[in-house]
Amino acid sequence: MEKISVLIEALPYIREFHGETVVVKIGGHAMVDDDILEKTVKDILLLYFVGIKPVVVHGGGPEISEKMKKFGIQPRFVDGLRITDKETIEIVEMVLDGKINSKIVSYFIKNGGRAVGVSGKDGLLVVARKKKIVKRIGESEVEVDLGFVGETEYVNPGILKIMIENGYIPVVSPVAIDLNGNVYNMNADIVAGDIAGALKAKKLIMLTDVDGIYRMEGNKRVFVSKMRVDELEEMLKGGELEGGMIPKAEAVINALKNGVEKAHIINGSKEHSLLAEIFTKEGIGTMIYR
């Protein structure tokens, strides 16, 4: 009976999300091991088989760093962005497209799903330009060259729509291209947010390695289970977010501005957090709404 009541509790959510597109970003930091990753894939398949249309975007930061070290390159970051030279962009493509994307697709197949792996290059899904950042050093402003780090110029969601309409689950790696054929390393959160906006997804869900967003109240760190998007904008402007949470916040703000209803930041390293967030009243992570 307990199992049945769990299903019944999920009914209103299944009804609400049936036929809707949900973008799920699996953070590199959420893929703590293969077992957790496969469980996440199964959760996404459950969404699919109750009539939700999932689109997966994945990261891969930790594995890129590990491979770089194997090739004798020390990873370096400026404001959380990886300095990406010619050798590094090759490693980025090798790890993201060749390994992680392909592994996620395999787990879908193994568990009875039809997934298709694409990078942001395929079908000109994500067209990028070189990202420029300026740093203040004393009195002067200096432009920092990050190499092949891109930012979104525009998104062509056509290829994803074709896949979704035909019952496939797209799995997108955050590698993009410009019209001259230069390949760029993209932040996966930003790509997920832009894709969610372009598809007018119902939800954007980010799986990471923390329970959600924390904020400082006095000198206490407090977990936020719900916040309006303008509150998140305030936090971002006020410098309350650091490192990997900055692009997550930017992606969420962008997605909601482009018509996505709600965004969720949850702990993907905890089993079945995705299902708990979507199918229970309480949820478990941070929900951001308009």
List phi, psi (to 5°) of 33.
-155, 175
Pairwise CA distance, residues 119 & 96, whole Å? 9
244 binds Mg ion (CB under 5 A): yes
Task: Count Cβ atoms below 10 Å from residue 17 Cβ, excluding itself.
Answer: 19
Among 23, 24, 30, 171, binds ligand ATP (CB under 6 A): 30
Q: Of the two residues 17 and 256, which places its CB atom closer to ligand ATP in the complex?
A: 256
Provide the minimum distance between the beta carbon of 31 and ligand ATP in the complex, in angstroms, as a whole number. Answer: 8
60 binds Mg ion (CB under 5 A): no
Q: Of the two residues 17 and 175, which places its CB atom closer to ligand ATP in the complex?
A: 175
Provide the minimum distance between the beta carbon of 191 and Mg ion in the complex, in angstroms, as a whole number. Answer: 11
149 binds ligand ATP (CB under 6 A): no
88 binds ligand ATP (CB under 6 A): no
Question: Rounded to the nearest 5 degrees, what angle is found at the Cα of 99, between the Cα atoms of 117 and 47?
Answer: 45
CA atoms within 13 A on the CB side of 215: 14
Among 150, 193, 197, 244, binds ligand ATP (CB under 6 A): 244
Provide the minimum distance between the beta carbon of 93 and ligand ATP in the complex, in angstroms, as a whole number. Answer: 15
241 binds ligand ATP (CB under 6 A): yes
Q: Of the two residues 26 and 163, which places its CB atom closer to Mg ion in the complex?
A: 26
C-alpha distance from residue 110 to each of 65, 103, 213 (Å): 28, 10, 33
Q: For the chain, give percent helix, strand, coil, nearest 5.
A: 40, 30, 30
Among 36, 73, 161, 214, binds ligand ATP (CB under 6 A): 214
Q: Show the tokens assigned to 174.
A: 């955050």
Pairwise CA distance, residues 69 & 75, whole Å? 7
**Where on the chain is the footprint of ligand ATP (CB under 6 A)?**
27-30, 59-61, 188-189, 208-210, 213-214, 240-245
